[in-house]
Chain A
């Protein structure tokens, strides 16, 4: 099997795995990383345009990140932790 095939297989198996079983094994895709140079080159935007798109994206995303958080999230986490302590 070609290296490229292995990369695809690694991706698929990660997708099929029960997410709750997944242990954040971010290092297992080393074979796919090595495929980089073998993949066909991508035609991409000039660096400058990429940079400007990236800047916009991070600013928009940053707006959402910096929104004030409703209490419901900390209350939920607190109740999850409390339930455990009383178990």
Chain B
């Protein structure tokens, strides 16, 4: 039990991370109600296994890993359907389409929804949540290079779909080592 967080603190810290868990869950399963169920399940699991969490380590990464594994195991049981194909569900927005100034965001969300699930996940973890590539790789159980490649492919596809910029024909080689843990968060 040593190192396990005090339960009052943990309750507070979990509450603070609920918005992030909801957003990540929605990017995975694409349906707001199912995403909330997934978050609730994650909170219960996290609470029950809190003794295995070391205070001071990355709580968000720990929770995201639980959420992700719960999602994958539930999906295997067919509880959560995947909605990638219709291109409208993932990263569902609460904003109304009629609201001016939000059209570009809605277009973005639609384009995002058409990406393969593993690319959406990688882009959310690295691009939206600011996890280091190394941390995202640990959370997804894959090599760092795999995460980098998924993020790059996701960005390129989005840029292409949204006409953000033409792909540089030669390509630009970027040394990702310049990305540091300090920039995460």
Contact = CB atoms under 8 A, between A and B. Distances in A.
Nearest to B67: A19
B138 A26 contact: yes
A65 B89 CA distance: 17
B108 A56 contact: yes
Contact of B43 (A22, A33, A58, A77): A77
A43 B173 contact: yes
A29 B134 contact: yes
Classify the secondary structure of A's interface with B: helix
B66 A20 contact: yes
B73 to A, nearest CB: 9
Nearest to A48: B165
B124 interface: yes
Interface residues of A, number: 62
Contacts, number: 211
Contacts of A53: 127, 155, 158-159, 162, 164
Nearest to A29: B134
Interface residues of B, number: 80
Nearest to B12: A77
A80 B138 contact: no
Interface in B145-177: 145-146, 148-149, 152, 155-156, 158-159, 162, 164-165, 167-168, 171-177
A26 B93 contact: no
B98 to A, nearest CB: 15
Given A28-B138, A64-B26, A42 B152 contact: yes
Contact of A52 (B57, B66, B164): B164
Contact of A76 (B43, B135, B148, B158): B43
Interface in B38-78: 39-40, 43-45, 47-49, 52-54, 57-59, 61-62, 65-66, 68-70
Given A46-B172, A54-B127, A73-B39, 15 more contacts: A4-B143, A8-B142, A11-B140, A22-B65, A23-B62, A35-B144, A36-B177, A43-B173, A45-B156, A45-B172, A49-B164, A52-B164, A53-B159, A64-B91, A77-B47
